[in-house]
Structure 1
Amino acid sequence: MAAKKLYDVIIIGGGHAGMSAALTLYRQLHTVLILDDNKPRNTWLLQTHVLSGWEGRQAEDLRAVSREELARTGLVTFIEREARSAQRIDDGFEIEDEQEGLWRGRKLLISVGKKNIFPEIPGFAENYPERIFHCMFTFGYEHRGSRHAGLLADGMLASPFHASMVVGDTKKFAERITIYTNGDSDLKERMMSEIKYPGIVYNDRRLLEIQRVGSGLRLEIGGSSPDTVDFLVHQPSTKINLPLVDQLGLKLDERGDIKNIPPFFQTEVPGVFSAGDCATPFKIIPMALFTGANAGAGIARSLAADTLTKELQSLSHEQDTKMV
């Protein structure tokens, strides 16, 4: 399929970041194409928190409202297909979708979600995020007054510095906390020496299984009796499943997020910006909205600078012609 229209911006990913960027861009009169595979990372039906004006409502409903608003502008087009490949062309970028459709844009915004990488513990995926919480700002308030909480020190939370902050968050909602290092006795010793909160219990036995029991969790532990906690805290690692990252030559940071330069989140590849979960360690809707809006502003100004450069070049060419 031959590409025809040249959009000002192609956005890969129609989540909250992509919608926020499109909102910013259309108000600068830019044409936008949003390619979205309609497979968001957040598929669970839980109430949204820490989002002013949308407290207790569904995240997917917010995306639907945003899409309806953007569709009415006449400047934003939605295509529900997965982006499969990308290449640079003279006037921007060309994207091929899963149905071999070709789409051309002057600038490109990558705003895809990321895949959660769960610990290989039976029962973990089944209880995330209803009883295994990644963020106490999001989930803690509804569980205030809990008796016992656990923290799984794996992945990002295997850092004592990071774990200490999350322990501080969690202590506001639970009387006692056990840190599980899941078979890593050396990590237990580092945690004990660096986490200064009193009253923390440590367990370096391997977690064999997580089971839902009533309103809490039963943790089967190797070589020990099981523990029961009201909830478990863990922040899974994440991974970008997008071939465009390699095709465009985008670089990733130590967390596996696309490297970018704030405040407009431009990548090291000219003309390519990033926003949302793939661009920041803070994978929450408010940050997605913020990064999307800022990336949109950066793209709009980049487009304006390109136009000005072309106008000045054209004017210079006319002057040179007259002199000849």
Structure 2
Amino acid sequence: MLYDVIIIGGSYAGLSAAMSLGRSLRKTLVIDAGKPCNRQTPYSHNFLTQDGKPPSDITLLAKNQVAAYDDVDFVDGYAASAKSVESGFSVSLESGEVFQGKRIILATGIKDSLPEILGFQECWGISVIHCPYCHGYEYRGKKVGLLAPPERAFHLAPLLLNLGNDVTIFQVEPSSFTKEQLKALHQRNVKVVSHSIIAINHRDGHLDNILLYNGEKKSFSAIYAGLPFEQGSPIHLDLGCELDEQGYLKTDHFQKTSVAGVFACGDNCIPMRSVAQAVASGNIAGAAANMELSQEPFKTIS
């Protein structure tokens, strides 16, 4: 079967794109490996109508609603490779299955590069968190730490101070900031500690205290972490899609990548990482792919 659109990734962005396409009567395939980046996060926030719901509940509801459209099919599996073919694109799964589609939407997300700190993995998404908009309200007025490179730390510090007045930046030499930045941090009583974190002590992912390289222990309610990342799938390399200087897929306002016929949506192309943004970009990607397919017959008229 030749699908109109193959969507690689079946979390919020991919399902949103699939709904747009299903409602447009486009034969659509959603390929999903079932490993969303927020699978350990207990509750999702800052998304209208679903605030405070477990991420898996939101995904299940979304998938059930999308599956009600007869033109949308689902397959469980990991998309291992993709290439251009005469009919559009061919996508091969690790299982050996091969599917073809006229258009591709990459909703493949990103992979955070977690530091080798004891306890970090277990706390990630629970009390070691990435976003003050997604998690900050729950830790308002609490003592929090910040683990990020200097530029990222200085960007996040004002947002955290808006939610509380006890912020400590770790693993950054004070000299890494400009004099103006350091003065601004000192004036707001933001502490800058150069010692590395070697362990996070926790109970079921809920932070108790951290152990520093110098042997000191410090108690915090949460640690914000601005981490490096890589694309959630290397499949964009097969297709030749360009990345920007931050490592996100380059897209225009219609979620079109640098490769004709390939769209991207969600965390793989949007620095503002949230469920709301993923859903919005997926909606646009699905609509834009449908528009291209709708216009194709008109291009053949002489």
TM-score by length of structure 1 reads 0.86
Among 209, 217, 222, the residue aligned to 1:226: 217
Structure 2 distance, partners of 1:226, 1:242, is 38
Instruction: Report the Cα offset of residue 281 of structure 1.
Output: 1.0
**Hey, what does 1:153 align to over in structure 2?**
148
**Hey, what does 1:309 align to over in structure 2?**
299
Instruction: Report the Cα offset of residue 43 of structure 1.
Output: 1.1
Residue 142 (str. 1) matches residue 142 (str. 2): no
Question: Partner letter of residue 271 of structure 1?
Answer: G
Q: Matches of residues 1-324 of structure 1 in structure 2 within 5 Å?
A: 5-146=1-142, 148-154=143-149, 158-159=150-151, 162-180=152-170, 182=171, 184-187=173-176, 191-193=181-183, 195=185, 198-212=188-202, 216-223=207-214, 225-261=216-252, 263-310=253-300, 312=301, 316=302
Q: 1:42 to 1:216 in 2, by over 3 A?
A: closer
Q: Secondary structure at the match of 2:208?
A: strand
User: Deviation per CA, 1:233-281, whole angstroms, max 9, x where unpaired?
Assistant: 11222212423211111112222221111x2110110000000111111
Structure 2 distance, partners of 1:175, 1:213, is 25
User: Deviation per CA, 1:289-317, whole angstroms, max 9, x where unpaired?
Assistant: 0110111111111112222112x0xxx3x
Question: Partner letter of residue 149 of structure 1?
Answer: V
Q: Is the 8 A contact 2:197 2:213 kept in 1?
A: yes
Instruction: Report the Cα offset of residue 232 of structure 1.
Output: 1.3
More off after superposition, 209-218 vs 120-129 = 209-218
Q: 1:134 to 1:243 in 2, by over 3 A?
A: closer
Question: Partner letter of residue 274 of structure 1?
Answer: A
Question: Partner letter of residue 78 of structure 1?
Answer: F
More off after superposition, 292-301 vs 111-120 = 111-120
Q: 1:128 to 1:243 in 2, by over 3 A?
A: closer
**Hey, what does 1:319 align to over in structure 2?**
none
Paired-residue identity, %: 27
Instruction: Report the Cα offset of residue 216 of structure 1.
Output: 4.3
Q: Secondary structure at the match of 2:267?
A: helix
Question: Partner letter of residue 98 of structure 1?
Answer: E
**Hey, what does 1:320 align to over in structure 2?**
none
Instruction: Report the Cα offset of residue 35 of structure 1.
Output: 0.9
Instruction: Report the Cα offset of residue 172 of structure 1.
Output: 3.1
Instruction: Report the Cα offset of residue 206 of structure 1.
Output: 2.1
Q: Is the 8 A contact 2:41 2:126 kept in 1?
A: no
Q: 1:226 to 1:213 in 2, by over 3 A?
A: farther
Structure 1 runs (4+) greater than 6 angstroms displaced: none
Q: Is the 8 A contact 1:131 1:217 kept in 2?
A: no
Q: Is the 8 A contact 1:188 1:202 kept in 2?
A: no
More off after superposition, 298-307 vs 288-297 = 298-307
User: Deviation per CA, 1:4-43, whole angstroms, max 9, x where unpaired?
Assistant: x111100000111011011111222211111111121111
Structure 2 distance, partners of 1:99, 1:210, is 38
Q: Is the 8 A contact 2:266 2:282 kept in 1?
A: yes
Structure 2 distance, partners of 1:219, 1:286, is 32
Instruction: Report the Cα offset of residue 68 of structure 1.
Output: 1.5
Gaps spanning 5+ residues in structure 2: where? none
